[in-house]
Structure 1
């Protein structure tokens, strides 16, 4: 069987290779040509990456802007695929892909799917074609009957060495790991298609898409043969659509049985037959479980963020900030990891995958043989994800979404709970309370909701916290003292600080918490800082760029890394009347990889030209049904982001302190 790539691991930088002029982007196929950075070019470059990384075509088999002859016209086809070793001549072309910007619709008379079909008709050996604008995507098979050329819509174009039947109903070892923004495009297409063709509002469409994604993941994890598929004939006939409906219904029944806390027993996939068939056809070619975590994270966060961002100070922590915090605390396989305000699970998924990569590396090194290592990896990952990952959030929809995110990223969904983290543990559900997490957490990562618009004003909560009381300030001694009086209200981030520290193991438990800068500098909040210094050792303070949470919210924040003191340490310092002196790691994250509009920013030279680096990627492929890891080199822009360097500097500093 021909090798089929199904996973792209994190790329490792090799060296800086190329400087690209401002306003240009480097062509992925030849690695030399600098093309104007337009919306259409963005789509074309993403599809070009997919052709090589997902479909398995060699770069030498792909021609960019190939000139066709259509009578007296000489249009340029965006991407044309030729057979291995074939001359790049029009009569040798096998597949044509047309890429447009999002503003061009498939129905456009000049640049829609009709343009693609005219190109296909002009090439006698072209069998397949694809038209996409990044949102819409249509694939066709050319059919010649009695001198008449027709075009039949199909779910996907075939990958290299693949037959049409394998595209219609693929085997598991033929599923493709999504690369770059391919999955983001697919999620957008599906979400918009449901909203546009089912008559649902976008948040409602999101939940229906979530059900289908759950079915897809369950099929990958539990079925012996692929059940999540829709053939071309099934999509275009009522009987076929009903067959698809029956397969998805069976999968969803199994999903509900496996995840009763996410879906009710009487829930169904509320999509009409045609919409359901379309969504299945757009996702069936991917292996969601095998896709890179950053690819899945970017796709999922966009679709979640546009539907679930609430009015309780909820905004999602950028992946690079999650990665920085996790790398700073360097979690291990036997450490309990908690986020008491987990949102959609960004910190937890980052921490979980950080540990999983440690496990994977250790087992492959131990066994040498990848296939033998896979079994041991699965066992250790399952034990870790089930027993050491815990998340809590007040918003039940966010908990539901975070469980989905966890299931898509190696499955730690059993440790996620809907609960008010600030309330007494006695009020939590039995399964969470039974875990007895107070004072037992090794590592805590969180970005709690904050703001004066969502105050905590329940007396029973406030009186349980030192920071829920009023404090008096003595200017002569520069000391704050807690009084018996209870505050009328407190912003949630203040109480979250105390709750997070009390969750940690005394003497060793550490947390990384995102806080508004007012906590660190406002004169009226001096008592909060004093409580922090009395109860913790401040390991690090990272000042985040003002655009960190843009384009969603403008807020100046920092990441505090704290280690809980033991009662004995606190008692000794209280007895001597002063705090121990120690060094604190401080840094400024002044390059965070995007601007205030959310656009990615890249490293540039002094003339403003973007810099590319050459990276080495490890791909997991199947040969004769067995997994094999291979390396390939490619080029990518250098993102202007110093958060990982900050984490590395902190680890070096911490090593010197120990």
Structure 2
């Protein structure tokens, strides 16, 4: 096993604190009350600067305007470039509301925004949003001394024409920031459910068809995933948009991903007007260039609300995935497997960890690390594709989760070809031949997994149980050692059933390469400390070297599940080491940690770290983002510094402590 590399990004530096119940305004740096409306406003402030590229100095929150004899405060005003912040120089107005304020609200709906726009002579555009709904308007003279407000698809970005904003070119595509992509996905999902009369799950699958089509369109030289304002506004004209999008889906998605979309999925089962609406909500983003975490949060939000937990699946929070993957440190030349992959969160984290390693090493060889030549980019692409096609594998019993995982993989850099629907615990001889050839026992370098657990999911098939030592009945001999009970023919006596989490441990070790294969697995604490399961620990210590045990707070899987778990890292022993462990035992150091804070409480609410004075701590975070060059359309890396409240999460610190400890052992 190679020595893990220390994490290089993002860099987090403590910079101060904020009092409880307040947040730091993104534009001004001043403290403001932390309210549901403020949450929406902060997301839009970030979008205006990072996505729409308006200079922060030209934006101001809570700007007072004069309306007759009264003065009103606009949530956000964008002024003409470099101009004085006066009502006469206002160019764009934004009104943000909390999620339960309807756009038709008498005093706080879109009518409020339009009245503000009418009072600002030179304002051209406006946006009203509560996160779940968003309306954009252009102000036009009505020829009678007044104004009309035309709804448009999107406001123009800095330096962009209105026409280009309604049908963006590749150089206009925006990299999603904060929770704005989550808002867009949620709007689309809710719109489909409301206007098609579909069940939530059916609406979810139709939305994923359009998201897939959007991603594949971004891989093309010419963008065709768009809908015009007239197609969005007119149901008859919208049929042209649906034909165009349906052709993209049929030609580029169905043919490329036959294992995801079969004969039942050849049609986008949505009305033309709904297709046009969803397309316009997504067409301005670059899903390929948007940060992995931003996409992951947005995708897992809609996946989780539709597919979560019906068979004991409680998807691993992203911070736990990152901790485990940082500790296990998968390399680009290693075969990585999640034998209970769910929607792919754990596997995607491991995949992107290795891809980032490839990216860093390749760019370090470029003449200009931020912008390579065509030949340099082609070599980077080749290395990425080799890794994705040869090293990423996942298995899950639930076909809906496998399908969702494949879609998730494609959204997050691809690698979906190695995902399979199968029962990991059954005899591999019963697997389809392609799976047996791809993942024979003893062939995997790294496993990352959170297997399903619980007494409600017993494995009771004798043929399945007969494969496992841990499915047998164990007794203690006169020396106190655990031995398998055998019948008069010498065959192991099997238990009537066994919970899946115990069998997954043994199957995972079977899949790992002897001597070098290692894994990080979420294991219920009962397996680690229940006296009745001492035989499991006895067996495990003679088959694996335990590298680390991190006791996770019971809120980790809340609000869905409060099972106490640990993240356990282990390495499969070689045959010689197993023999030594059986006779004399093995002596080695072990890393142990207790994570008392996991970033959220039992209700799932985010919790923030406090200073000694009881105030929320602030951190400065340096992140590397991918931007699209406005002239060439090429991807360019840029570092941005973000100041925000520090989430009270000890898992990143555990990972760093483990890597330092491991380097000291060597």
- Does structure 2 retain, via aligned residues, the 8 Å contact 1:466–1:482? no
Structure 1 ranges of 4+ moved more than 4 A: none
Matching residue of 1:155:
153
Aligned: 1:566 with 2:574: yes
Aligned to 1:206, the other structure's residue is in SS state helix
User: Which segments of 5 or more consecutive residues in structure 2 lack a partner in the other structure?
Assistant: 1-7, 487-491
- For 2:417, the equivalent position in structure 1 comes to 414
Q: 2:207 aligns with which of 209, 212, 216?
A: 209
Within 2, Cα distance between the matches of 1:632 and 1:463?
55
- Equivalent residue number for residue 444 of structure 1: 447
Q: Deviations over 1:486-536 (max 9, x none)?
A: 111000001101000000000000011101100001111111111101111
- State the secondary structure of the residue aligned to 1:68: strand
Cα contact 1:169–1:226 (8 A) shared by 2:
no
Instruction: Say whether residues 1:474 and 2:477 are aligned partners.
Output: yes
Distance 2:641 2:242 in 1: 42
| Equivalent pair of 2:44/2:180 in contact (CA under 8 Å) | yes
Q: CA deviation at 1:394?
A: 0.2
How far did residue 476 of structure 1 move?
4.0
CA 1:437/1:540 → structure 2, altered by over 3 Å: closer, same or farther?
same
1:478 Cα deviation after fit: 4.1
Q: CA deviation at 1:61?
A: 0.6
Give the distance between the partners of 1:588 and 1:632, measured in 2 at CA: 33
Query: Helix, strand or coil: the match of 1:485?
Result: coil
Contact 1:539 1:562 in 2 (8 A): yes
Query: Shift in Å at residue 623 of structure 1?
Result: 4.6
Match of 1:308 in 2: 307
Question: What residue is the counterpart of 2:21 in the other structure?
Answer: 23
**CA shift in 2, pair 1:234/1:101, >3 Å:** same
Please state how far the C-alpha of 1:200 moved relative to its aligned partner. 1.0
Alignment length, in residue pairs?
Answer: 645
Displacement of 1:18 in angstroms is 2.7
Indicate which of 632, 655, 665 corresponds to 1:657: 665
Match of 1:439, SS state, is coil
Instruction: Give SS of 2:542's match.
Output: helix
Match of 1:128 in 2: 125
Q: Does 1:179 find its partner at 2:180? A: no
Matches of 2:641 and 2:545 in 1, distance apart?
44
Q: Specify which of 379, 384, 388 is matched with residue 387 of structure 2.
A: 384
Partner of 1:630: 638
The TM-score, its normalising length taken from structure 1, stands at 0.96
Q: CA deviation at 1:150?
A: 1.0
Does 1:579 pair with 2:585?
yes
Is the CA contact (8 Å cut-off) linking 1:13 and 1:613 kept in structure 2? no
1:489 to 488, 497, 515: 497
Q: Distance in 1 between matches of 2:151 and 2:112?
A: 15
- 1:237-636 maps to which residues of 2 (within 5 A)? 237-253=234-250, 254-267=252-265, 268-369=267-368, 370-372=371-373, 373-474=376-477, 476-483=479-486, 484-574=492-582, 577-621=583-627, 622-625=629-632, 626-636=634-644
Distance 1:652 1:389 in 2: 27
Q: CA RMSD in A?
A: 1.4
Distance of 1:121 and 1:650 partners within structure 2: 60
Q: 2:129 & 2:493 partners in 1: Cα distance? A: 64
Q: What is the CA–CA distance in structure 2 between the aligned matches of 1:537 and 1:475, rounded to whole Å?
A: 26
**Deviation string for 1:67-90 (max 9, x for gaps)?**
111112211110010111111111
Shift of residue 343 of structure 1? Answer: 0.3
- How many angstroms apart in 2 are the aligned matches of 1:436 and 1:344? 19
Q: 1:573 to 1:22 in 2, by over 3 A?
A: closer
Spell out, residue by residue over 1:334-386, the C-alpha distance to the aligned partner (whole angstroms, 9 max, x if none). 10000000001011100111111111111111013223243322211111011
Match of 1:4 in 2: none
Corresponding residue SS for 1:335: coil
Distance 1:252 1:106, change over 3 A: same
- Stretch of structure 1 that moved more, 90-99 or 263-272: 263-272
The 1:628–1:212 alpha-carbon spacing in structure 2 relative to 1, beyond 3 Å, is: closer
Alpha-carbon distance in structure 1 between the residues aligned to 2:642 and 2:53:
14
Tell me, in whole angstroms, the C-alpha distance in 2 between the residues paired with 1:99 and 1:374: 41
Mapped contact 2:541–2:581 kept (Cα < 8 A): no
Match of 2:165 in 1: 167
Q: Match for residue 235 of structure 1?
A: 232
Moved more, 79-88 or 235-244: 235-244
Contact kept? 1:177, 1:288, Cα under 8 Å: yes
Q: Quick check: 1:293–1:409 contact (8 Å CA) kept in 2?
A: yes
1:55–1:176 CA contact under 8 A, matched in 2: yes
| C-alpha distance in 2 between matches for 1:634 and 1:316 | 28
Deviates more, 1:539-548 or 1:614-623: 614-623
Q: Does 1:34 align with 2:37?
A: no
Q: CA deviation at 1:53?
A: 0.8
Q: Distance in 2 between matches of 1:627 and 1:191?
A: 30
Distance in 1 between residues matched to 2:576 and 2:618, nearest whole Å: 53
TM-score (norm 2): 0.95
Q: Distance in 2 between matches of 1:544 and 1:507?
A: 28
Say whether the 8 Å CA contact 1:371–1:627 is kept in structure 2: no
Establish whether residue 97 from structure 1 lines up as the match of residue 104 from structure 2.
Answer: no
Contact 1:602 / 1:639 at 8 angstroms: preserved in 2?
Answer: yes
Q: 2-side partners of 1:461 and 1:410: how far apart?
A: 35
Partners of 1:616 and 1:300 in 2: CA distance:
24
Residues 341 and 395 of structure 2 are in contact (CA less than 8 Å); yes or no, is this contact kept in structure 1? yes
